[in-house]
């Protein structure tokens, strides 16, 4: 259950992720909230526009067309990677999709159910990006546009503490949809995963080159109670379920402390993670039951201050 972020925050986190953002008109209050709910939000949806020309594309996504009033998304991602914010709130982009898919997004399960039902209104639950492309399988996706999609989706996931499995394509949601066409959503989720796993520590200051260099993203936040719940519940479960994505932040810190193999920093709080965390607790001076691998506030804050995350209760 997640409330949508404020509009001003969306613009800010996209810029913090290094994107060029254009705020179009009254986008912050341009929405379809009078027609139905907005939120709780569960994920991010990627589309292609079947249009060409950035100005025309932005106009259509902002105002819509007869039969489908705008906004048709929250952000338009142009060929040059610029993000145009055209609306905020409920938008006509997701339409009716499959409740099984929504549940998989909420639970961030590895398996993705086939979207063979259109029984659930997706417009309350997804942030939407329309990407400028003809969708004919021939129109190229410039590298800078692909990177902007990656950054925009990652920025939202970072803010909500979601993993890459919270990002889907329209074609994975609504029967009959083919967008986005020209790349796979699995490949995009891999890119988003890599970006979310990036070292959160800010780079050392260098000689300023540009006056308006993007700010480094905010430090990730780890919720102690969710982490403890994952540490207790996950080890005996089958497979590698991810019950709390903040686990990955902690695992990456343990990797950098030399206590966990990099391949095991997968977001699943399994027995290897318990063992690694117990080693960290012993390093902090705990022993016996106090070093059982279930994180406590003191050891976690110490790890966070060394490895660049903050801890909430
Ligand atoms: Zn679409």
Total-model pTM: 0.67
Across residues 4-12, what is the average pLDDT?
Answer: 97
> How far, in Å, from the CA of 31 to the mean position of ligand 1?
17
- Distance between Cα 197 and ligand 1 center (Å): 28
Distance from the alpha carbon of residue 57 to the mean position of ligand 1, in angstroms: 13
Interval between CA 27 and ligand 1 midpoint (Å): 20
* Count of other CB atoms within 10 angstroms of residue 305: 11
Look up the CATH number of domain 7-197. Answer: 3.40.80.10
Q: Are strands 75-77 and 126-131 parallel, antiparallel or unpaired?
A: parallel
Lowest-confidence pick of 22-26, 36-40, 138-142, 231-235: 231-235
pLDDT for 203 equals 52
Distance in Å, CA 120 to ligand 1 centroid: 15
Q: What angle do CA 272, 278, 279 make, to 5 degrees?
A: 95
CA of 48 to the centre of ligand 1 (A): 6
**Average pLDDT taken over every residue of the chain:** 92
241 C-alpha vs ligand 1 centroid, how far in Å?
29
- Say how far apart CA 298 and CA 286 lie, in whole Å: 11
Would you say residue 264 has pLDDT above 70? yes
The whole-angstrom separation of Cα 215 and Cα 195 is: 15
Name the pairing type of β-strands 96-97 and 120-121: antiparallel
pLDDT number for residue 47: 98
Q: Are strands 83-85 and 68-69 parallel, antiparallel or unpaired?
A: unpaired
270 φ/ψ angles, rounded to the nearest 5 degrees: -95, -170
Structure tokens at 11: 């613009």
Distance (Å) from CA 46 to ligand 1 centroid: 7
For residue 21, give the DSSP letter: E
pLDDT digits (tens, 9 = 90+) for 71-111: 999 999 999 999 999 999 999 999 999 999 999 999 998 88
Grade residue 201 by pLDDT with cuts at 50, 70 and 90. Answer: very low
- How far away, in angstroms, is 251 Cα from ligand 1 center? 35
Instruction: Return the domain boundaries, the chain.
Output: 7-197, 221-312
Cβ–Cβ under 8 Å, residues 292 and 231: no
Q: What is the mean pLDDT of residues 3-20?
A: 97
**Ligand 1: distance of its center to the CA of 60 in Å?**
13
The rounded Å distance from CA 169 to ligand 1 centre is 8
Distance between Cα 200 and ligand 1 center (Å): 32
| CA atoms of 173 and 304, how far apart (whole Å) | 37
CA of 79 relative to ligand 1 center, distance in Å = 17
- Per-residue pLDDT, averaged over 119-147, amounts to 97
């Amino acid at each position: 259950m997640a409330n949508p972020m404020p509009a001003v925050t969306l613009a800010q986190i996209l810029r913090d992720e290094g994107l060029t953002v254009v705020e179009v008109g009254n986008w912050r209050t341009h929405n379809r909230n009078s027609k139905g709910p907005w939120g709780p939000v569960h994920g991010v949806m990627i589309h292609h526009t079947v249009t060409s020309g950035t100005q025309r594309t932005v106009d259509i996504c902002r105002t819509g067309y007869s039969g489908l009033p705008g906004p048709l998304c929250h952000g338009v991602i142009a060929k040059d990677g610029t993000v145009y914010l055209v609306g905020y709130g409920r938008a006509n982009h997701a339409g009716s999709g499959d409740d099984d898919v929504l549940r998989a997004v909420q639970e961030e399960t590895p398996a993705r159910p086939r979207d063979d039902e259109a029984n659930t209104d997706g417009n309350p639950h997804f942030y939407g990006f329309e990407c400028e492309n003809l969708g004919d399988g021939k129109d190229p996706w410039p590298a800078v546009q692909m990177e902007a999609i990656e950054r925009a989706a990652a920025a939202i996931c970072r803010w909500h503490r979601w993993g890459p499995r919270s990002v889907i394509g329209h074609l994975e949601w609504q029967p009959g949809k083919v967008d986005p066409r020209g790349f796979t959503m699995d490949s995009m989720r891999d890119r988003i995963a890599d970006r979310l796993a990036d070292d959160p520590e800010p780079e050392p200051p260098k000689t300023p080159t540009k006056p308006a260099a993007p700010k480094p993203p905010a430090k990730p936040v780890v919720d102690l109670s969710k982490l403890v719940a994952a540490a207790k519940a996950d080890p005996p479960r089958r497979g590698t379920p991810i019950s709390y994505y903040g686990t990955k932040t902690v695992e990456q810190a343990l990797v950098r402390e030399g206590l966990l193999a990099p391949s095991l920093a997968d977001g699943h709080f399994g027995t290897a993670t318990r063992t690694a965390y117990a080693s960290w607790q012993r390093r902090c001076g705990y022993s016996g039951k106090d070093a059982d691998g279930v994180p406590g506030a003191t050891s976690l804050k110490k790890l966070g201050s060394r490895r660049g995350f903050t801890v909430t209760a």
